[in-house]
C-alpha cells in the first residue's frame, strides 16, 4: 500500500522545457488531410476541429531529447553529473536491442550525464511522460534517487498518418527535473502533491474511445488524497486533441471550460505524450499561472488515464524567449 502524500517527503517538478519541430507548416500541407477526414467521417472544417499549424522535424529522436533536456538542466542550474537517474520516454524507440544501447549513449552524452541510471518507457503511449513523472516522483520520495531527469521525445516517421481521427501530430520533445530540492536555481518549480492512474484492460485497444469515467476515477483518487474539490483546481493541462473531443471528454469528467486550455490545439496540435508539459510551460510563460495555484497534468488514451497534481511554488518568470 502506498503512503498518503502527507507521509511522503516533498518532491518537486522543476524547469519544464520543450522543443518542437523546426519546420512550421499549415495543416493544409498534410497531403492526405481531406482523404483522411472523409475516412473518419469528419466535416472538413478547420475551425471546428482546431486544425491550424503543425511542426515537423528533420532531427532524430535523440537530438530532440538532448535539446529539451539540456534546456531543463540549464534552467534548473543543475550539474549534469549530479543527475542520478534518467527516465526516457517515447511511443516508438527506433531499432531493437542491438541499437538501443547506442541510442541511450547519444542521449546521455549529449546531455552530459555521467552515471545516471536509465529507465525507458514506451508502452503507455501518450501517457508515457506522466507515467515517467509518477515513476520519478516515487523514486525520489523513496530516497532511491535524488535528481531524476524525465524526457519524452517523439516524431512522425510516416507522413500518411500525421492526421488521426483524434488529432493532428507535431514532432517534439519535453523534459523536466524531479527532485527533493525545493528551489533549484533559476527554475520554475512546482510541488508534486499527488498522482494517480486508472486503467480498463478491456478497452486498451486503439479502436476504443477515451474514457471520461477513467478520468473521473483519477480525479477522485487525487482529490481524496489531498482533501480538495475539483473546482479548486486552477487549470487542467490536457493533451492537444481535437477541440470537440477534449471539450466533451473533459467536461464529462467534471471540468469547466475555464479550466481547459485549448489554444495550443490550433497552434501546433498534438505532440504525443509531451502536451501536458508543453501546455504548462506556455501558460506559465503567458503569466496565467499563480504562485500557490493548483494545476493538474493529465492525459488519456483508450483504456488508460494518468494525472499528476502540482502546486506552483515559485513566481512565473518568462525568460525563455519564443519556442
Task: Summarize pLDDT for 135-192 with one digit per residue, the tens.
Answer: 999 999 999 999 999 999 999 999 999 999 999 999 999 999 999 976 544 458 999 9
CA distance 53 to 293: 30
Residue-level pLDDT at 9: 79
CA distance 322 to 229: 35
Average pLDDT over residues 211-229: 98
Which runs of consecutive H residues, i.e. helices, occur in the chain? 33-39, 46-49, 61-75, 97-111, 128-141, 212-226, 243-252, 263-268, 275-285
CA distances from residue 182 to 10, 130, 173 in whole angstroms, order as listed: 8, 20, 25
pLDDT band at 313 (very low <50, low <70, confident <90, very high): confident
Q: What is the pLDDT of residues 98-141, one digit of tens each?
A: 999 999 999 999 999 999 999 999 999 999 999 999 999 999 99
Average pLDDT over residues 86-105: 95
Average pLDDT over residues 19-32: 97
Q: Which range (5-19, 49-63, 154-168) has the least confidence?
A: 5-19
The percentage of residues in the chain with a pLDDT greater than 70, rounded to a whole number, is 93
Element containing residue 236 per DSSP (H, E):
strand 235-237
Q: Which range (5-19, 66-80, 93-107) has the least confidence?
A: 5-19
* Dihedral sign from CA coordinates of 74, 79, 82, 86: positive
The mean predicted confidence, pLDDT, of the chain is 93
pLDDT band at 1 (very low <50, low <70, confident <90, very high): very low
Taking alpha carbons only, the member of 73, 89, 83 closest to residue 131 is 89
Element containing residue 300 per DSSP (H, E):
strand 294-301
Residue 70 makes CB contacts below 8 A (sequence gap 6+) with 110, 111, 112
- Partners of 175 in the β-ladder: 17, 151
Residue-level pLDDT at 3: 45
**How many residues does the structure list for the chain?**
323
Amino acid at each position: 500500500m502506498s503512503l498518503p502524500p502527507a507521509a511522503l517527503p516533498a518532491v518537486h517538478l522543476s524547469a519544464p522545457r520543450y522543443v518542437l519541430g523546426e519546420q512550421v507548416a499549415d495543416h493544409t500541407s498534410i497531403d492526405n488531410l481531406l482523404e483522411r477526414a472523409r475516412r473518419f467521417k469528419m466535416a472538413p472544417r478547420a475551425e471546428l476541429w482546431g486544425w491550424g499549424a503543425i511542426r515537423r522535424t528533420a532531427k532524430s529522436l535523440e537530438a530532440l531529447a538532448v535539446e529539451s533536456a539540456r534546456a531543463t538542466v540549464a534552467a534548473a542550474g543543475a550539474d549534469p553529473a549530479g543527475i542520478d537517474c534518467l527516465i526516457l520516454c517515447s511511443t516508438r524507440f527506433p531499432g531493437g536491442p542491438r541499437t538501443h544501447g547506442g541510442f541511450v549513449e547519444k542521449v546521455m552524452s549529449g546531455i552530459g550525464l555521467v552515471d545516471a541510471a536509465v529507465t525507458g518507457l514506451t508502452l503507455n503511449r501518450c501517457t508515457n511522460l506522466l507515467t515517467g513523472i509518477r515513476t520519478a516522483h516515487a523514486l525520489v520520495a523513496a530516497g532511491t534517487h535524488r535528481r531524476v531527469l524525465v524526457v519524452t521525445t517523439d516524431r512522425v516517421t510516416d507522413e500518411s498518418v500525421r492526421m488521426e481521427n483524434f488529432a493532428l501530430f507535431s514532432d517534439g520533445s519535453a523534459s523536466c527535473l524531479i527532485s527533493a530540492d525545493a528551489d533549484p536555481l533559476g527554475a520554475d518549480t512546482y510541488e508534486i502533491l499527488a498522482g494517480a492512474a486508472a486503467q480498463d484492460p478491456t478497452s486498451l485497444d486503439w479502436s476504443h474511445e477515451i474514457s471520461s469515467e477513467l478520468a473521473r476515477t483519477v480525479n477522485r483518487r487525487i482529490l481524496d488524497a489531498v482533501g480538495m474539490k475539483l473546482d479548486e483546481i486552477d487549470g487542467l493541462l490536457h493533451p492537444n486533441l481535437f477541440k470537440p473531443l477534449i471539450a466533451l471528454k473533459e467536461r464529462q469528467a467534471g471540468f469547466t471550460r475555464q479550466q481547459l486550455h485549448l489554444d495550443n490545439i490550433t497552434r501546433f496540435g498534438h505532440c504525443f505524450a509531451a502536451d501536458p508539459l508543453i501546455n504548462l510551460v506556455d501558460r506559465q510563460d503567458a503569466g496565467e499561472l499563480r504562485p500557490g495555484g493548483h494545476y493538474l497534468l493529465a492525459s488519456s488514451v483508450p483504456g488508460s488515464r494518468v494525472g499528476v497534481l502540482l502546486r506552483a511554488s515559485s513566481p512565473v518568470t518568462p525568460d525563455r524567449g519564443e519556442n
